[in-house]
Structure 1
Amino acid sequence: MAYVLLVVGFILLIKGAGYFVDGSSNIARLLQVPPILIGLTIVAFGTSSPEATVSIIAALEGSADVAVGNVVGSNIFNITLVVGLAAFLYPLKVESETIRKEIPFTLLASVALLILMSDIFLQGFSSNMITRSDGFIFLLFLSIFMYYVIEIGLKSRKNAVNEPTPKNITWGKNIVMTLLGLAAIIFGGDLVVDNGTKIAYSLGMSETLVGLTIIAIGTSLPELVTSISAALKKQSEIALGNIVGSNIFNILFVLGASSVISPLAVSDKVFTDVVLMIILTVVLLVFSRTGFKIGKREGFVLAAVYVIYLVYIIVRN
């Protein structure tokens, strides 16, 4: 029964995220907000909402390993398999100055995570924790990022010509769609955490492994679907921008909010994964600056890295 409920939870997360993104995007269009602002905020936040729900619920239930593992695992999955598959389907052009600035910001957030969770090494404490004060630091970083994005959005608004909103896009329908999506995400997230943890224990898996694999992959499915569909539509900036934006939200908002609610104990195993996440972000930065595109070859390399990583963490458990 736990397996059935886990699948139901994932379906609710994916469908809920879809409704949430569509409804929010249409509301943004009704408000005449520039498309660039929608891509960097609403789409990125919408596809990160399953991670946020799962990690916050896990933090409330005392499953810190699931909360942290979910974020780190999702970010690694996004950089490797999601970008890899999207680039393999259609080379991702990196022309926008925005994306070239966002990837370094992702790197900054990843390094900040490594520093703030290294309490034993840096401060000589008895355990590694992401404390409430660390959480507030992440949320402060997020507010700086949001200020930067809004500034870009306002600048682009001056130059952009707003198209008239189609008559079939109405306030009532999209508010209901957004709220239903949010409800499905919250309920689905609860099912995923509860049943994912039960399955982990029954199979002798650690919470860290479950967070890094089953839950991380499940909550990253909205990013996968969004980026692949964007790549197929040859909207490469949305495909890559969604991933980079989502990774920033995952670290700064998801871990920030989770640790403010309940301080998170960090497993020693996760350090290897965080270092790998930092290395992969550097690789993504290098790939994106080489000819300003991520091609099929780079996509294949990134996807292959995820397969190797998955084998490694399963063996490590």
Structure 2
Amino acid sequence: MLIASFTLLVGFVVLIVGGELLVRGAVRVAERAGMSQLLIGLTIVGFGTSAPELVASVEAARSGSPGIAWGNVVGSNLANSLLILGTASLILPMVVPRGPLWRDGGLALIATIGLWIVARTSGITIAVGFGFLTLLLAYLGYAYWAEKTQPVGASALHEKAESLEVADTHLHDEQPLWRSILTLLVGMVMIVAGGRWLVQGAVEIAFIIGMSEAVIGLTVIAIGTSLPELVTSIIAAYKGASAVALGNVLGSNIFNLLLIGGVTAVISPGSIPIEITNYGLPLLIAASLLLMLFAATGRKISRWEGAILLFLYMVQLIYNVVAV
């Protein structure tokens, strides 16, 4: 048990640090290649913050543990919608731009409902995975086109989030290109290694304590891989840019569902564990609807609404551990 816990902890740390290095190196290389901040925010930053979830889910699927993979996807989005937005709204009430709410939040909700319907009927197939990936490409293309003229959506908010991070870390200081490439490569190696250790530790712990892999994915793995989004959103709220947290979460939810869910379906088609089909996905749908309801009323998420989101996350977390 001690060795498994240590492996899990080391995997978390290496995964998070690797994801940070991946984003830093990729953004710097992209800038040197002439990519716009808008495109960097929409693609590299969005992908980078979801890299821990991606690597953990892919490693779990490849290792024959689809419960951890899908539990991570659904659990990370629950953590994003309830834990992260609840915490950020407690720090500073969150102003909600209407465009990103309905476009990005709506897409994440539709994708969640679609995944739930497929899981209850035909099961997860390779075709479903490629469908999710195609939808992601279409979303990125449309969002980039739309925000070239009106940059108020998720990509612009991702760009602002990246600006907040680099303001503290002097990312834009001049440095040789080779160093940026090295940072990128080191980050890639670390997230692969960290994801492998994370899954190994989680599987061993689940076996020792008798907890299902799906519940481990919904709780421990999901919280750990959501740490980059949590840190970014807290920093944004403290700096008075609470809307950045919303953009960060909406973008991450879409990447989690369409990119990670799509890749997982392609690698490991089959059925989704019953804990996720009967509990995790319906709860995520309800949380998404509640979040959009809060955001639509008064165009902001107030502190008391944030407290409700945070309370609901704690309740479902306890229920997961005790009853599921």
TM-score, shorter chain, exceeding 0.5: yes
Cα deviation, 1:292-315, whole Å, max 9, x if unaligned, reads 111211111100000000111112
Could you say if the C-alpha distance between residues 16 and 264 of structure 1 is closer, same or farther in structure 2, counting changes exceeding 3 Å? farther
Instruction: Look up the match of 1:149.
Output: 143
* Residue number among 64, 68, 88 corresponding to 1:66 in the alignment: 68
Displacement of 1:34: 4.3
Q: Percent identity?
A: 40
Matched, 1:211 2:217: yes
Query: Which of 305, 311, 316 matches 1:309?
Result: 316
1:247 matches 2:249: no
**Aligned length, in residue pairs:** 303
Name the TM-score, length of structure 1 as normaliser: 0.89
C-alpha distance in 2, partners of 1:86/1:100?
20
- The superposition leaves residues 128-153 of structure 1 with CA deviations (integer Å, 9 ceiling, x where unpaired) of x3111111111111111111122134
Counterparts of 1:190-209 in structure 2, within 5 Å, are 190-209=196-215
Counterpart check, 1:11 vs 2:17: no
Instruction: Please tell me the residue identity of whatever aligns with 2:149.
Output: K
* Counterpart Cα distance in 2 of 1:295 and 1:28: 37
Cα distance change, pair 264–220 in 1 and its aligned pair in 2 (3 A)? farther
Deviation at 1:254, TM superposition (A): 0.4
Q: Is the 8 A contact 2:79 2:223 kept in 1?
A: yes
Aligned with residue 25 of structure 2, among 17, 23, 26: 23
Distance of aligned partners of 1:2 and 1:286 in 2 relative to their CA distance in 1, 3 Å threshold: same
More deviation, 98-107/295-304: 98-107
Distance (whole Å) between structure 1 residues aligned to residue 257 and residue 264 of structure 2: 10
Alpha-carbon distance in 2 for matches of 1:91, 1:34: 30
Amino acid at match of 2:113: V
Q: Does the 8 Å contact 1:39/1:238 carry over to 2?
A: no
2: CA distance, partners of 1:33 / 1:287 = 36
The 1:178–1:264 alpha-carbon spacing in structure 2 relative to 1, beyond 3 Å, is farther
The whole-number CA distance in structure 1 between the counterparts of 2:206 and 2:38 is 40
Name which of 102, 110, 113 aligns with 2:112: 110
- Residue 270 of structure 1, CA deviation: 1.0
Q: What letter is aligned with 1:140?
A: T
Contact map agreement 1:94 1:100 (CA 8 A) in 2: no
For the pair 1:281 / 2:283, whether they are aligned, the reply is no
CA contact (8 A) 1:85 1:228 kept: yes
| CA-CA distance at 1:169 after TM superposition | 4.9
Letter of the 1:286 partner, please give it: L
Are the structure 2 counterparts of residues 241 and 51 from structure 1 closer, same or farther at C-alpha, using a change threshold of 3 Å? same
Corresponding residue for residue 296 of structure 1: 303
Amino acid at match of 1:221: L
AA aligned to 2:214 is T
| C-alpha spacing 1:181/1:152, structure 2 compared with 1 (3 Å) | farther
Cα deviation 1:87-131 (Å, max 9, x = unaligned): 111122112623441111111111111122112xxx5xxxxx311
Q: Tell me the distance in 1 between the aligned counterparts of 2:65 and 2:230.
A: 25
SS at match of 1:269: helix
Contiguous gaps of at least 5 residues in structure 2? 157-170
The corresponding residue for 1:126 is none
Deviation string 1:45-101 (CA, Å, 9 cap, x unpaired) is 111111111111111111111111111111101100011101111122112623441
Could you tell me how far 1:40 is from its partner in structure 2?
Answer: 3.3
Question: What is the rounded CA distance, in whole Å, between the counterparts of 1:309 and 1:194 in structure 2?
Answer: 25
